Amino acid sequence: MGVRKPKTIGDYGKWGLDIGVRCRACGRTAVFDAAEVTKFFVAKRWSLVAPVDASHFRCACRSRAVETIAVAIESRPKPLPPRTPPLAPLYIKVR
């Protein structure tokens, strides 16, 4: 890795980096596609400034003691494991 540090979330993808969320409690690292993180953060109106605000993430072990790291896209497993997206409602009705 060089000495450059991403200044925005968009830099990760441009520089061949995924965004990892590493848990200090259980050691798990969840790796995200930077473009998908960008879309999600834009929709939520969250800051796109790097380092990525880790407070938006929670580990699968439910710990919030997480930090974001840059992970080289080359270290993705091949093939990528299948994803099981969480079921999201079409819309929410209040009363």
Cβ at position 70, least distance to Zn ion in Å = 19
Cβ-based nearer residue to Zn ion, 25 or 42: 25
Please report whether residue 65 would count as binding Zn ion according to CB under 5 A. no
Closer to Zn ion by CB, 37 or 59: give it: 59
Could you say whether residue 23 binds Zn ion (CB under 5 A)?
yes
Task: Quote the tokens at residue 88.
Answer: 């999201």
Residue 14 or 64 having the CB closest to Zn ion:
64
Q: Which residues contact 59 (CB under 8 A, 6 or more apart)?
A: 21, 23, 25, 26, 28, 30, 65, 66
Cβ atoms 32, 76 nearer than 8 A: no
